Amino acid sequence: MAPAARPALRAYPPVGAGVDQHHERQAEQPPGREQPAEAGKQAAPEGERTAEGGARRGRDTADLKKKVPESLCGERGQLTREADRATVLEIVAEEKAKKVSERATCRWLGIPQRTVQNWRRFGLRDRRKGSARYVAHRLSAAEEQAFYESANSARFRDATPEQIVARLAEDGVYHGSVSTLYRILRKRGALSHRRESKKPVGSTAHTRIAVTAPNQVWAWDITWLRTDVHGLFYYAYTVIDLFDRSIVGWTIEETESEEHARALFQRIIRDLGVVPEIVHADNGNPMRGMTLAAFLDMMMVTRSYSRPRCSNDNAHIESWHKTLKYTVGYPATFPSLEYARTWYADFVHWYNTEHQHSGIGYVTPEERRSGRAEAIYARRNQTLQVAREKNPSRWRCGKTRRYDSPPVFAFYRPLQKVA
């Protein structure tokens, strides 16, 4: 039984294959598969039409090649311009009108059919990250320059982008968000790590408690101050309130001892007229000494200590030490005890009254302690709200940053009572 006749090839193949390729495929037909006589009679006029159509298709293919942009003949993975994409869609539509499938046309153009479908469905604009595009809410060149000049003014020479935006919002000025300022500085090569310290390394908290009011949790530690004599140091004792990050007391001595620590806490409690609920410290000898421990127990203060070999449990005081020693103008050496105490007193005053702390919403410790921080937060939020109403397209995510009092948590590890 003779096999059924295969369907005739399309008279106008999408590929630039003329009549020669059509006859070659017929010549390669294996023996015993000849078509019946009736089919041959019908195939003859079809062959004539194929020859005529092949010649016409050759002319159409030449015309089609003229329409294809030269940029489409580049290497694989090359970006196709928006104008070329529109041309490709026109070619596909024209060939489709001539009964040529989209798949065949895309194969001839060397473009995946899925790519053409995506252009038709999602538009011709390049949506990849980093591609050049028009953004309606983008800062103009003048606005970007004004933002950059404000950030590089002498007023903000030691401020971070977070502090700059917060202080400008407090003054009723809004140029853009913190991330926008970071992008501007990065684009102009003005964003770099200006300190010799390493990047902070996070650690998992073991036990945390919420600090909701002043004088709930104090933390303290001792740091060494280099003198002009090699191997000799002064010792700075510092006590910080974790709620507002304010330095409630300090002293600088020539020795490290628990007697100096007890005298410091006696003076702080006497001058402030308050007794903290918890005092957290490291595991050094002055912190664990019986002289200080007896005094704190007498005052009904709960003593908390960091876990062994885990300085991150006392992270707030360690952060203070970094702010202290990596600030601009920190002395290389302290030639005398009087000089060390004078410089330290000036720095503590600046820290409490002028330094905008990131952990308390970029207000100063004194503003947080006195209760004026809420009014400052309100002014900043109002400035951002006005800026959003003026140009809402710059807030695409629908969220406006709000300055507020962030929650404060402390690491807590009280002494285990022995039965």
Half-sphere exposure of 340 (CA within 13 A, CB side): 23
pLDDT at 133: 64
Q: Are 163 and 174 in contact (CB under 8 A)?
A: no
Residue length of the chain = 419
Given pLDDT bands bounded at 50, 70 and 90, which one contains residue 108? confident
Cα 175 to Cα 324: distance, rounded to the nearest angstrom? 31
User: β-strand 208-211 against 247-253: which pairing, if any?
Assistant: unpaired
pLDDT at 8: 35
Cα 278 from chain centroid (whole Å): 36
Q: For residue 3, with 0-12 CB atoms within 10 Å meaning exposed, 13-18 middle and 19 or more buried, which class applies?
A: exposed
Q: Are 139 and 391 in contact (CB under 8 A)?
A: no
Q: Are 257 and 277 in contact (CB under 8 A)?
A: no
Which of the two residues, 397 and 73, has the higher pLDDT score?
Answer: 397
pLDDT at residue 18 tops 70: no
Domain boundaries defined on the chain: 1-26+80-126, 137-191, 210-370
Residue of 219, 212, 204 whose CA lies nearest to 321 = 219
| Mean pLDDT within 272-287 | 91
pLDDT at residue 386 tops 60: yes
Q: Which residues contact 211 (CB under 8 A, 6 or more apart)?
A: 217, 242, 243, 408, 409, 410
CATH class given for the domain over 210-370 = alpha beta
Query: If you search the block for the tokens 């050496």, which residue do you land on?
Result: 333
The pLDDT tens digits for 172-214 are 999 999 999 999 999 988 887 666 666 655 444 467 788 999 9
- Lookup: tokens for 364: 């100063």
pLDDT at 146: 92
- Residue 266: what residue type? Q
Could you tell me the CA-to-CA distances from 186 to 107, 183, 190, 400 in Å, in that order?
Answer: 43, 5, 6, 23
Given pLDDT bands bounded at 50, 70 and 90, which one contains residue 149? very high
Q: Write phi, then psi, for 275 (nearest 5 degrees).
A: -125, 125
Cα 330 to Cα 327: distance, rounded to the nearest angstrom? 6
Cα 232 to Cα 48: distance, rounded to the nearest angstrom? 106
Task: Name the least confident of 193-197, 246-250, 334-338, 364-368.
Answer: 193-197
Cα 197 to Cα 372: distance, rounded to the nearest angstrom? 33
Most confident of 49-63, 102-116, 262-276, 302-316: 262-276
Q: Are 252 and 239 in contact (CB under 8 A)?
A: no
- Lookup: tokens for 191: 């964003």
Half-sphere exposure of 84 (CA within 13 A, CB side): 15
The pLDDT tens digits for 284-311 are 888 888 999 999 999 999 898 887 777 6
Show the CA angle centred on residue 307, arms to residues 276 and 352, nearest 5°. Answer: 40
pLDDT at residue 43 tops 70: no
Residue by residue, DSSP assigns 148-216 as HHHHTSGGGTT--HHHHHHHHHHTT-----HHHHHHHHHHTT-----SSSPPP-----SSEEEE-STTS
Cα 38 to Cα 42: distance, rounded to the nearest angstrom? 6
Cα 325 to Cα 344: distance, rounded to the nearest angstrom? 11
Cα 238 to Cα 220: distance, rounded to the nearest angstrom? 6
Collapsing DSSP to helix, strand or coil, 378 comes out as: helix
pLDDT at 206: 61
